[in-house]
Amino acid sequence: MHKSVTDPLRFLKGIGPKRAEAFSVLGLNTIEDLLYFIPRRYEDRTHFSAVKDLKIGEVQTLKAGIMAKNERRFWHHRGLSITEISVGDETGRVFCVWFNQPYLGQYFKIGDTLILYGKVELYNNRLQITNPEFEIVSGCEEESLSIGRVVPIYSLPKGVGQRSIRRMVKHALDEYLPHMQDFIPYDIRSKNNLPNLAQSLINIHFPVSGAAQNEAYRRLSFEEFFLFQVPLALRKKRKKEKAGIPHKADGPLADGFMSGLPFKLTASQEKVMAEIRKDMSGPEAMQRLLQGDVGSGKTVVAAYASVIAIQGGYQAAFMVPTEILAKQHYEKIAKLMEGCSSFQRIRIALLTSSLDKKEKEKACADIKGGKIDLVIGTHALLEEKAGFKNLGLVIIDEQHKFGVGQRALLPAKGPNPDVLIMTATPIPRTLAITIYGDLDLSVITELPPGRLPVKTMVFGSRDRDEAYAMIKSQLKLGRQAYIIYPVIEESCALDISGAKAMYEELKKGGFRDYKLGLVHGRLKDAEQDEVMLKFKNKELDMLVATTVLEVGIDIANATCMAIEHAERFGLSSLHQLRGRIGRGPDQSYCVLISDAQTEEALLRQEALVRHNDGFRIAEEDLKIRGPGEFFGRVQHGLTELKIGNPLAQIQLLKSARDEAINFVASDPGLSGRQSGLLKEKLLRRFPEYEKMILVG
């Protein structure tokens, strides 16, 4: 039977259909996915720390035998259970404690040998490791995958242990590496001093040395950057070759829009509008990224671009990630366009998943029939039935909330329309230019006039009453407030009060004289909208919420926000949340209630107190967390990059980009001898880019 890396994982020895489902949850479906499943860290098991040499406050790895075990339950404290074992070697003993994992007791047998990894603490005058990672090692210790070497540690699928996954990866390498071909052309590898693919995959999983592991990581990062840049280079080249729509930027509709604005534009907004006007008037389709902080006035820029398209008889589509945001933009833009009404009535529609079947069918028919000039919607715009008569402009807000390649789907519904991507997630300019290589860059660097910077302060949980007194002082002035919680339900292990529980407590306690609402991600969209609308209409004084508020609610009368357990939020999230206040002329206050103890959490809070500028905060965020988190799931951005680290490897990223541009220039149809394997790999990695990759 011919073996291929595209074979489903269930066919690999030791996996099978049931385990394959657990792997699928982590996005691992094929042999290739497993081979590229990079360990999250490595342990040097060529040398273990003896118990007597353990350093308090440091994370360490030790090998020790189980000497005693003990299990306790505390029913009076929400059913908390503690599993405790005592382990030791000839130099001493250390205690290991796990909370709320009573099933662990059945795994531990006195006399067994464990490998333990965790932070060593001094507790009640004894050495203790709380919730350590562990592996039970058998007497013979199978193969040499787990002992006496640098050992990979993976993020585990449910029901799979570290030793099992190592065996599976080793088996996949042995069985499938002979069938893999290197898709990066030899001359590119040679020029950039990259090892071959087989060697790199072996050394990323089971490195023979630290240097070999570093080289493997560099090769696989380059590969990922290169793969990521080729479609961007293709898109930019093909967009330039394909005729765009030369919109007429000047005219009564655009003039009426500008003169009817109820506020003065900032110099930054005017500069960006001039760049967009120039792009839209030109023969090539606009491909522009607009970066602007929360509340910097990107929506009016988007509305202006829409008016230019509509003025020439074209339609505009504005796609946003949430229904709340879609409705908010719909109302805001409808108001902004009132100034155009004496010249032309602009017909605006809202298209979201929550519309009933009849409403959706009517909206789609009107859009397809040309009866709608501007449609504002969510992912519903990407559905096949959502067609256009004459789409001339596509605007995508917070595009990193959409999957890779999705921003190519909406423009495909028109005759090479102009595209404006907007984001409130600041990315340092050098990275933005490289990562969004197919886009020109515009930045709004200032807030609208009359906006006062939000004052941010930190209170410990013992000073909560003082913090709440500040909120009440704002409510007494007729203003509104938010209280934000990191979780919905109460988490005993983390000792965090959930939004639901605190909502009930606040309603009966300190805020009983005020009208409170509760909004969180588990509410249905219609329920969320109902609460938001009540808050907007001032039927509620205060909103208790989770991070569902991070995107999309704009209420000028809300001047105060308290963020409970602020140490549990990333800096970007804290900044985005804070951006929900300070939207009007009144001074606004953000109160962080936190008992932060880690250096990272304290640095986050300090950065938020000192800075209001999102780009400055992004720089601080990168410094504090490092780019792995900044560009990872917490930030939602660039989730396409699973291996490479754009900030730490900026030179490697630039090299990969240059190679991609040169490669595409020499073979724009990807039809040459060296392009076949690359094309196959691109289609597997980015199936959403199929049309772009296959079109010659």
Q: How confident is the model at residue 395 (pLDDT cuts 50, 70, 90)?
A: very high
Query: What's residue 407's pLDDT?
Result: 64
**Is the pLDDT assigned to residue 427 strictly greater than 80?**
no
Q: How confident is the model at residue 163 (pLDDT cuts 50, 70, 90)?
A: confident
**Is the pLDDT assigned to residue 382 strictly greater than 90?**
no
Extents of the domains making up the chain = 47-148, 220-241+645-694, 252-281+297-423, 455-611
**Is the pLDDT assigned to residue 643 strictly greater than 90?**
no
Query: What's residue 519's pLDDT?
Result: 86
Q: 74 — alpha (psi -120 to 50), left (phi > 0) or beta?
A: beta
Can you read off the two tokens belonging to residue 299? Answer: 């929506």
The larger pLDDT score, comparing residue 271 to residue 613, is at 271
DSSP 448: P
Q: How confident is the model at residue 374 (pLDDT cuts 50, 70, 90)?
A: very high
Are 22 and 29 a contacting pair, CB within 8 Å?
no
Query: What's residue 129's pLDDT?
Result: 92
Give me the CATH code for the 455-611 domain, please: 3.40.50.300
Tell me what the pLDDT averaged over the chain comes to.
84
- How many Cα atoms are found within 13 Å in the side-chain-facing hemisphere of 61? 17
Are 93 and 126 a contacting pair, CB within 8 Å?
no
Angle (CA) 82 85 88, round 5°: 155
Query: What's residue 354's pLDDT?
Result: 81
Q: Name the residue with tokens 């105060």.
A: 560
**Is the pLDDT assigned to residue 141 strictly greater than 60?**
no
- Residue 397's identity, in one-letter code, is D
Query: What's residue 494's pLDDT?
Result: 47
- Helix, strand, or coil here: 130? strand
**Is the pLDDT assigned to residue 696 strictly greater than 60?**
no
Report the DSSP beta bridge partners of residue 134.
116
Cβ atoms within 10 Å, residue 450: 9
In the chain, % of residues over pLDDT 90: 33
Average pLDDT over residues 210-239: 88
Minimal CA–CA distance to 624: which of 596, 604, 648? Answer: 604
Domain 252-281+297-423 has CATH 1.10.4080.10: no
Q: How confident is the model at residue 489 (pLDDT cuts 50, 70, 90)?
A: low
Domain 47-148 has CATH 2.40.50.840: no
252-281+297-423 and 455-611 have identical folds: yes
Q: Pairing mode, if any, of strands 480-484 and 542-545?
A: parallel
Condensed to tens digits (0 to 9), the pLDDT of residues 499-539 reads 788 888 888 888 999 999 988 877 777 787 788 888 888 99
Q: In which order are the strands placed within the sheet that holds 455-459? A: 455-459, 589-593, 558-564, 480-484, 542-545, 516-519
Which residues lie below 8 Å from residue 486, measured CB to CB, with a gap of 6+? 496, 546, 547, 564, 565, 568, 569
Can you read off the two tokens belonging to residue 505? Answer: 């407590």
Q: How confident is the model at residue 617 (pLDDT cuts 50, 70, 90)?
A: confident
Cβ atoms within 10 Å, residue 247: 24
Q: Measure CA 243 to chain center.
A: 34
Condensed to tens digits (0 to 9), the pLDDT of residues 401-419 reads 665 456 677 888 888 899 9
Condensed to tens digits (0 to 9), the pLDDT of residues 172-186 reads 999 999 888 899 999
Minimal CA–CA distance to 156: which of 144, 147, 148, 168? Answer: 168
d(CA 546, CA 528): 12
Q: In which order are the strands placed within the sheet that holds 374-377? A: 348-351, 374-377, 315-319, 391-397, 418-423, 287-292, 440-444
pTM of the complete model: 0.62
Minimal CA–CA distance to 393: which of 369, 378, 376, 380? Answer: 376
Average pLDDT over residues 214-230: 92
The larger pLDDT score, comparing residue 282 to residue 684, is at 282
In the chain, % of residues over pLDDT 70: 88
Residues, the chain: 696
